[in-house]
Amino acid sequence: MKKAIYPGSFDPLTLGHMDIIERSSKIVDELVIGVLNNSAKSSLFSLEERVTMIKEMTHYIPNVTVGSFDGLLVDYMKEIDATIIIRGLRAVTDFEYELQIAQTNHVENPNVETVFLTTSLQYSYLSSTIVKEFASHGGDISKFVPAVFINRIYERYGITQSKK
């Protein structure tokens, strides 16, 4: 059984994340989306909200579940008995950071392997940070996030559809 984790902040989940989830769920037996509870960083959506939003979007994929963790990823992976980390690579700018994390995790636990999926071209520019920046100024985020999240994100910035 190949059990993998796709870790991240997912604040919020984007169409780029969904693309990685759909594609990676086809190459592993079980995929856990691991939402990071980073109390040091203020987030747009609470941990519970992020978990609920991801569950809402992934319920149709039978081998995907959603969990959350704080502390080290490798410790959480031991807890849930996962050995594969899935990460999306957008551009060369992601590479250095991702390489460092992948190598550190492998040193911490040699059974852990990181598998990188290159993002689909249409999402190669996309990040949760870009979504928040755009949304905070009332920009059109319909090409960036699942449709059901659009208003929930604008609401966080006090923007209603009518003001747009």
97/138 with CB nearer ligand PNS: 97
7/141 with CB nearer ligand PNS: 7
89/159 with CB nearer ligand PNS: 89
Q: Which of 46, 63, 104, 118 binds ligand PNS (CB under 6 A)?
A: 104
What x-and-dash track marks residues 74-103 binding ligand PNS by CB under 6 A?
A: ---------------------------x--
DSSP letter string over 36-92?
A: E--TTS--SS-HHHHHHHHHHHHTT-TTEEEEEE-S-HHHHHHHHT--EEEEEE-SH
d(CA 141, CA 13): 12
Q: Does position 54 bind ligand PNS by CB under 6 A?
A: no
Contact present, 34 and 75 (Cβ < 8 Å): no
Q: Which of 73, 84, 112, 135 binds ligand PNS (CB under 6 A)?
A: 73
Angle subtended by helix axes 73-80 and 92-108, to nearest 10: 60
Binders of ligand PNS: how many residues, by CB under 6 A? Answer: 9
Positions touching ligand PNS (CB under 6 A) are 7-9, 36, 72-73, 101, 104-105
